Amino acid sequence: MAYQLYRNTTLGNSLQESLDELIQTQQITPQLALQVLLQFDKAINTALANRVRNRVNFKGSLNTYRFCDNVWTFVLNDVEFREVTDLVKVDKVKIVACDGKSSDYFSHSSLIIRPRLFLTQ
Amino acid sequence: MASSANSNPVPKLYRSVIEDVINEVRELFLDEGVDEQVLMELKTLWENKLMQSKAVEGFHTEEQAALQAAAHQQAQQAQQATQQAQAQQVLLPPQQQVTSWQSTRPTVTSAPQQQVIVQDPKILQHMSATGMSAAATAATLALPTGVSPYHQLITSQGQILQFVRAANGAQYIIQPQQQMVLQQQVLPQMQPGGVQAPVIQQVLAPLQGGHPQQTGVIIQPQQIVLTGNKVQQNAQVMQMPGQPGQVQQIQQQVQQVQQAQGGAAPGPPQQQAKQQPPMMLQVDGAGDTSSEDEDEEEEEYDEDEDEDKDKDGGEDGQVEEEPLNSEDDVSDEEDQELFDTENVVVCQYDKIHRSKNKWKFHLKDGIMNLNGRDYVFSKAIGDAEW
């Protein structure tokens, strides 16, 4: 089972919102929506692993760190993200990182910032 | 070309993920007995939300722009669409009505008379389809001012004058002739309360000989202002048959409609005025507790804490000043970008290392949302001091 980590991204949230709308109008069942999300997890994990090939460097100051359930959560301040092409500066950034070595058998859904209703079954 | 090779990989990645997911779940949908159309709707919703979020640059915009351009071209091939396009052109820049009318004249003259009549309802429908609010169209159909949306006045010459009521409440009358002399009458606004007075324009055709062809030109009112859900502006455009007798009849018709609208216009504004009085002014001091009591019923916990804090600050700090000033915010949040987004990076870690207070991060396969925009990386290396 792939990480559900990426559900709280623009791509993942827009998918969840769309599924919510279809559930509201009763065009799909919540079970089906869950299946779609599981499929999304697989697809995004595969895509990131295989289709992305760029490096980013960043530098800043660490405000907080947390390690729980094999998930690191950092909050950094005054960070510069540098890619070959451009530079992005932010005052505050939160980094959530799952273990890259092993695929999870926890759902990690509780660690996602905005849990969805139909995940809690 | 080198710059385009380094172009943003995010849209392509997202599109490929969408395609993969949709294709994979197609079977799931069919197993559940859900129609393929629902699947397409899911895809459309998904893509639309992505576009709306503006987190991704150039996501599908090129494709959709091409589709829209193709759709427009197909529509414009039909003669009906030409008038509709003119209607749109006339609708959009209300202040340029004269110029737009003049500019659209030559193409309109080619429209035969019959088509003008037939296309009016379609113009109405098209207007309503071009994004007019449902309330506006409902208001139009409901005839709030008692004027029917579709007047036909058959003159002595047998020509049909048509009042077309657009979704904005503006009335358009199709002009049958090329040579037109515009006369505009602007009535003063009835009330400053946000209700626009009807702006009525009279178009008088020259009394010279009539042209057999009708021009489907539509004149816009100068001001179109939507006040809340009400559309109070009515513009009348007269069809000009080109005959003096017909002109007089048209003028009478306009006056009748003006009176009807004039009678109707003060009605709703008065109703609006009547609805406004219940606002009460607070004349007593600022330290009243009536609203606080109401809040306390709902959120007792928070209110009690706040009151206690305020009292303490007032007593310990400056007793003379109001407790509101004693704890000023020191936040520097205003320095950030206007985006409300919390910048988030969602990824996996290869190695996290710490030496004293120096941290090193080795991350991979991440999606970042920084300053409202999305980025991806396959590897990220970072340093930070704690």
| B385 touches A: beta carbon within 8 Å | yes
Regarding beta strands A55-68 and B373-385, do their DSSP bridges make them parallel or antiparallel, or are they unpaired?
Answer: parallel
Residues of chain A with CATH 1.10.287.190: 5-51
The β-bridge partners of A92 are A77
pTM: 0.46
The per-residue pLDDT for B358 is 94
Per residue of chain B (386 residues), what is the pLDDT tens digit? Answer: 444 445 678 888 888 889 989 998 998 888 888 888 989 999 999 988 988 887 676 655 545 555 666 666 776 666 565 665 555 544 444 444 444 444 444 444 444 444 444 444 444 444 444 444 444 444 444 444 444 444 444 444 444 444 444 444 444 444 444 444 444 444 444 444 444 444 444 444 444 444 444 444 444 444 444 444 444 444 444 444 444 444 455 455 545 555 555 444 444 444 444 444 556 766 676 665 555 454 444 444 544 444 554 444 444 545 555 667 666 666 555 444 455 678 999 999 999 999 999 999 999 999 999 998 899 999 999 999 99
Who among B374, B378, B386 is closest to A10 (CB)? B374
The per-residue pLDDT for A101 is 82
Who among B335, B342, B352 is closest to A72 (CB)? B352
* CA pair distance A45, A51, nearest whole angstrom: 10
The amino acid at B54: K
Q: Which CATH architecture has domain A5-51?
A: Orthogonal Bundle (1.10)
Share in percent of chain A as helix, strand, coil (round to 5): 40, 30, 30
The per-residue pLDDT for B189 is 42
Task: Using the Cα atoms of residue A48, residue A50, residue A52 and residue A56 in order, give the sign of their dihedral.
Answer: positive
Tell me how close the Cα of B63 comes to any Cα of chain A, in angstroms.
Answer: 19
* CA pair distance B246, B135, nearest whole angstrom: 35
The amino acid at B170: A
ipTM of the complex, rounded to two decimals: 0.83
- Pinpoint the alpha helices (H) of chain A: 10-24, 30-51
- The CATH number of the structural domain formed by A57-120 is 2.30.18.10
The amino acid at A103: S
Alpha-carbon distances of B278 from B218, B229, B274, B275, B322, rounded to whole Å? 43, 20, 9, 7, 31
Ranges of beta strands (E only) in chain B are 150-154, 160-165, 171-173, 181-186, 199-204, 226-227, 230-231, 343-355, 358-370, 373-385
The per-residue pLDDT for B51 is 86
Q: How many CB pairs below 8 A link A and B?
A: 203
Contact list, B347 vs chain A (CB under 8 Å): 5, 95-98
Residues of chain A with CATH 2.30.18.10: 57-120
Contact: B343, A93; criterion CB under 8 Å: yes
